[in-house]
Amino acid sequence: MDRMLVVVFDNETKAYEGKRALMQLDSEGSITVYAHAVITKHADGTTTVKQEDDNGPIGTLLGTSFGSLIGLLGGPVGLAIGAATGVAAGAAVDLNDVRVGEDFIYDVSKSLVPNKVAVVAEIEEDWTTPVDTRMEAIGGAVFRRARSDVKHTIHEEHVAAMKADLAQMRAEQAKAHADRKAKLQEKINQLDSKIQAQLQKAKERREASERETQAKIQVLKAKAAAAKAKAS
């Protein structure tokens, strides 16, 4: 199952030990790690994100669900981004892009307080025991949530409603007097801009989802090739 994983530790030493344990589980074949990073919450409330030992194409944070999760965990005070990442400091993040519940973000944020450090990862795991056993032995508090499927229904209904309003205003404009036509045209232009923005956002989400899928395929292919080379 594809999951977002956050493990909160008391300090960087334990966090990096946890990251190594996570990658060891990946090497053993117990899980698949698609992306990972280490987040440090500083005493002043700022957050540093470090992404090391890039695990493949999806390791680039920008424009992915994983990157959106990093942005949300950074908090409203802004991020002090590590040089290896592609996240823009202060960028707005839509919770829908992360595809996990708001309660998950809330629970993690309560634990990831100043001076705490977290390992954040997107993983594929069939059962939770391997990760939990390793992380808890190091002293990590484990949070995980399965990613929901991409849903377009609500978005499509919202756009359909706006298009219905647009059609109604255009029908009224055709029968209106000159002064009323101008006012209606202004409203039509505003609503049409909103519709185009929604359609563009939906397109970007579809493209991001496709990129993530292709990146994961590349990660799996690389792992299979490495395993084959090792066996030969």
pLDDT in tens, 156-210: 776 887 888 888 888 888 888 888 888 889 889 988 888 888 788 778 777 777 7
Greater pLDDT, 9 or 167:
9
Q: What is the pLDDT of residue 149?
A: 53
Q: Exposed, middle or buried, 151 (CB in 10 Å: 0-12/13-18/19+)?
A: exposed
Greater pLDDT, 47 or 96:
47
Tell me how far apart the alpha carbons of residues 81 and 203 are, in angstroms, rounded to a whole number. 27
Q: What is the pLDDT of residue 55?
A: 47
pLDDT category, 23, cuts 50, 70, 90? very high
Mean pLDDT, residues 48-74: 66
Determine phi and psi for 226, rounding to 5 degrees: -65, -40
Q: What is the pLDDT of residue 18?
A: 96
3-state secondary structure of 148: coil
Give the chain's end-to-end CA distance (angstroms, integer). Answer: 30
pLDDT category, 104, cuts 50, 70, 90? confident
pLDDT in tens, 120-155: 998 989 888 999 999 999 999 999 888 765 455 556
pTM of the model: 0.66
Kindly tell me if the per-residue pLDDT of 6 is higher than 90.
Answer: yes
DSSP state of 10: S
**Mean pLDDT, rounded, of the chain:** 79
Percent of the chain's residues with pLDDT above 90: 24
